[in-house]
């Protein structure tokens, strides 16, 4: 595992216990030190987020709201205050929607955006290769298993797919890398069986609890990839 792959793996999961990551730390003290530093930082962040909520917080909020209401009622410019409050509420709702709603509404759009974001990090002729055993260790998180390899697997690690923990695979393609995503089902992203733009083409396979998405260039036969996945992947009950 090279330095870039190792750092990406540790950033994605500071407590990464994959065999490749552990071996890399044993062989390189600097990698082990980096993993320890990231784990310590992750623990500090967790502790910082654990802020206790005062027992009387609800009473204080109710009291503050009551006082604010009383002050508003005493003002002479009630109409203007009502308009200002309305604008503030609408602005808050719009801001909340923009922050927490997905910018993408289907699997295809998000998959393309994700591939373009990662494009260039892994070369199609890279010498690195992920073993089938290492891949299936990660697939266990999705109750899945590959009976055999789909091809030369250049990279495999967890990623965030529209906020969901997913598995991101990159295979060697005919002319450029082929990306495969294993994504838990989510009602916020509509299922799209096929999609494309000017450069990339994609297809999705729907299973009971997960979807598998394949993205490649025009030289790839997505039908063959779909068939290989269907013949190779099995799911535990």
| Full pLDDT tens readout for the chain, 237 residues | 677 787 788 778 877 778 887 887 788 888 788 878 888 887 788 777 777 666 666 666 776 776 666 666 666 555 555 565 565 555 554 444 333 345 567 888 889 999 998 888 889 998 889 999 999 999 999 999 999 999 999 999 999 888 889 999 999 999 999 999 999 987 777 888 999 999 999 999 999 889 999 999 999 999 999 999 999 999 986
pLDDT, residue 38, reads 81
Residue 18 structural domain: 3-49
176 plus 194 within the same structural domain = yes
* 206 close to 107: Cβ distance less than 8 angstroms: no
7 plus 70 within the same structural domain = no
pLDDT, residue 101, reads 40
pLDDT, residue 119, reads 84
192 plus 220 within the same structural domain = yes
165 plus 193 within the same structural domain = yes
33 plus 112 within the same structural domain = no
pLDDT, residue 89, reads 57
143 plus 71 within the same structural domain = no
pLDDT, residue 96, reads 44
168 plus 215 within the same structural domain = yes
133 plus 194 within the same structural domain = yes
CATH of the domain at 197: 3.30.200.100
pTM of the model: 0.58
120 plus 217 within the same structural domain = yes
């Amino acid at each position: 595992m090279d330095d870039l792959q190792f750092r990406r793996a540790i950033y994605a999961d500071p407590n990464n216990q994959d065999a490749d990551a552990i071996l890399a730390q044993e062989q390189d003290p600097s990698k082990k030190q980096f993993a320890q530093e990231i784990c310590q930082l992750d623990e500090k962040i967790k502790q910082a987020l654990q802020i206790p909520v005062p027992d009387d917080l609800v009473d204080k909020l109710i009291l503050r709201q009551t006082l604010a209401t009383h002050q508003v009622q005493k003002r002479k410019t009630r109409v203007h205050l009502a308009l200002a409050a309305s604008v503030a509420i609408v602005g808050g709702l719009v801001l909340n929607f923009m922050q927490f709603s997905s910018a993408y509404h289907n699997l295809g759009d998000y998959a393309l955006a994700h591939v373009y974001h990662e494009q260039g990090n892994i070369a199609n002729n890279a010498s690195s290769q992920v073993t089938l055993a290492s891949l299936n260790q990660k697939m266990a998180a999705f109750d899945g298993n590959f009976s055999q390899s789909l091809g030369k697997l250049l990279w495999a690690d967890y990623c965030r797919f529209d906020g969901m923990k997913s598995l991101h695979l990159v295979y060697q393609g005919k002319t450029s890398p082929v990306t495969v995503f294993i994504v838990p089902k989510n009602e916020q992203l509509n299922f799209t069986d096929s999609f494309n733009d000017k450069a990339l083409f994609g297809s999705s396979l729907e299973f009971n609890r997960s979807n598998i998405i394949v993205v490649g260039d025009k030289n790839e036969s997505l039908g063959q990839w779909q068939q290989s996945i269907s013949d190779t992947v099995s799911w535990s009950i």
